[in-house]
């Protein structure tokens, strides 16, 4: 029996298997109830008493060796199967190009990052809104042309439900539910019923800002905008504020920056004026504060808003707004280095 045990031990040490089926065949051959090692255990009763101790130890070592060998081979198959499972056999042999962020996302994130350095946080709101938050709370009179069907998308002809025309609707929501001080940014997509062309679209993106606290002045607004312009377009950028009108701010202004293409000298891009308009701004009208439950005798504030497409046009000199939404890979690949 000792000789038979040694023979089986040598066979087991030399066992190899190329797949799971062969491994299972080896397990049945040596370790099953009718396997060769089990047969040796059955013959153990015929061993002389003086040899039982030695032969018993040899049988146990043989069984343990067989089990260890089977486990080692099984583990090797499991490891190779894991490696194979991570391989996508349908993948093209050609290198797959990695995507990048959309230019509008790049610019929006940069705007948010600049204002976050001076304490602004982000708040977002619904794109489908009611008339009060989009117009009424923001001091739009009932006869204001922005309420007309030619400018606004209404939902199922319901004059009280519409696609927001500006992210100022989020400002009115925040002011109605949050006590000052408020210092927030409102990025998002807005919709206007306009003909699509190289300079206009029926949807676009805005980033608006709102700061309300005690003793907020127009000088605070101007300093924030100067900081933004220099961070976004370069240290040599200059700004100018022109009087304007918005229902929700008083006084109101439009902000121009010195043309970043010609340096303010005049070129076709800036229509030879040396200036390019980028945003509207002003002090929050006291009526808006009162509409939203904020005491205008105690608090004041400023607001500003800019189109992300407009800033992207200036930064990357994209001349056709439609390119931002056409998903032309040739156009998007130009922004890989900007990611």
Residue 288 DSSP SS3: helix
Q: Band the pLDDT of 125: cuts 50, 70, 90.
A: very high
pLDDT of residue 85: 55
Q: Band the pLDDT of 337: cuts 50, 70, 90.
A: low
pLDDT of residue 3: 77
Pairwise CA distance, residues 219 & 235, whole Å: 20
**Mean pLDDT of the 196-222 span:** 92
Pairwise CA distance, residues 268 & 259, whole Å: 10
Looking at the fold, whether 123 and 264 belong to one and the same domain comes out as: yes
Looking at the fold, whether 44 and 140 belong to one and the same domain comes out as: no
Q: What is the pLDDT of residues 220-266, one digit of tens each?
A: 999 999 999 999 998 989 999 999 999 999 999 999 999 877 777 87
Which range of 39-43, 56-60, 163-167 scores highest in mean pLDDT? It is: 163-167
Which domain-ending residue is among 55, 84, 113?
84
Q: Which residues lie closer than 8 Å to 255 by C-beta, 6 or more apart? A: 225, 229, 239, 240, 241, 242, 277, 278, 279, 280, 281, 304
Looking at the fold, whether 182 and 40 belong to one and the same domain comes out as: no
Looking at the fold, whether 193 and 280 belong to one and the same domain comes out as: yes
Verdict on whether the full-model pTM lies above 0.85: no
Q: Band the pLDDT of 79: cuts 50, 70, 90.
A: low
Pairwise CA distance, residues 70 & 67, whole Å: 5
Q: How many domains does the chain have?
A: 2
Task: Please list, residue by residue across 85-94, b when 16 or more beta carbons sit within 10 angstroms of its beta carbon and e when fewer do.
Answer: eeeeeeeeee
Domain holding 231, by residue range, is: 103-338
Give the CATH number of the domain where residue 324 resides.
Answer: 3.30.930.10
Per the domain annotation, does 95 fall within a domain?
A: no
Per the domain annotation, does 28 fall within a domain?
A: yes
For residues 154 and 309, the answer to whether their CB atoms sit within 8 Å is: no
pLDDT of residue 74: 78
Q: What is the pLDDT of residues 28-56, one digit of tens each?
A: 887 887 778 778 777 777 777 777 788 77
For residues 299 and 289, the answer to whether their CB atoms sit within 8 Å is: yes
Pairwise CA distance, residues 200 & 192, whole Å: 10
Looking at the fold, whether 280 and 201 belong to one and the same domain comes out as: yes
């Amino acid at each position: 029996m000792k000789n038979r045990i040694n023979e089986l031990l040598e066979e087991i040490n030399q066992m190899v298997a190329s797949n799971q089926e062969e491994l299972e065949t080896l397990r049945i051959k040596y370790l099953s109830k009718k396997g060769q090692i089990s047969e040796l255990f059955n013959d153990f009763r015929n061993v002389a008493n003086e040899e039982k101790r030695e032969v018993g130890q040899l049988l146990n070592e043989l069984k343990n060796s067989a089990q260890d060998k089977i486990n080692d081979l099984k583990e090797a198959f499991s490891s190779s199967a894991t490696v194979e499972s991570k391989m996508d056999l349908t993948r093209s042999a050609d290198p797959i190009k990695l995507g990048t962020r959309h230019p509008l996302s790049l610019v929006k994130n940069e705007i948010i990052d600049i204002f976050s350095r001076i304490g602004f946080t982000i708040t977002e709101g619904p794109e489908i809104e009611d008339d009060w938050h989009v117009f009424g709370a923001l001091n739009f009179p009932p006869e204001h042309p922005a309420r007309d069907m030619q400018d606004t998308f209404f939902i199922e002809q319901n004059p009280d439900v519409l696609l927001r025309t500006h992210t100022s609707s989020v400002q009115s929501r925040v002011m109605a539910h949050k006590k000052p001080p408020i210092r927030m940014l409102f990025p998002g997509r807005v919709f206007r019923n306009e003909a699509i062309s190289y300079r206009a679209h029926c949807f676009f993106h805005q980033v608006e800002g709102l700061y309300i606290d005690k003793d907020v002045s127009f000088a605070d607004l101007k300093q924030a905008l100067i900081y933004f312009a220099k961070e976004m377009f370069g240290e040599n950028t200059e700004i100018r504020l022109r009087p304007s009108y918005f229902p929700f701010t008083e006084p109101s202004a439009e902000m121009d920056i010195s043309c970043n293409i010609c340096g303010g000298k005049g070129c076709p891009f800036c229509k030879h004026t040396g200036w390019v308009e980028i945003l509207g701004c002003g002090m929050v009208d006291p009526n808006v504060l009162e509409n939203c439950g904020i005491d205008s005798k105690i608090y004041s504030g400023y607001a500003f808003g800019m189109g992300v497409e407009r800033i992207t046009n200036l930064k990357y000199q994209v001349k056709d707004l439609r390119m931002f939404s056409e998903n032309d890979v040739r156009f998007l690949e130009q922004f890989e280095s900007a990611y």
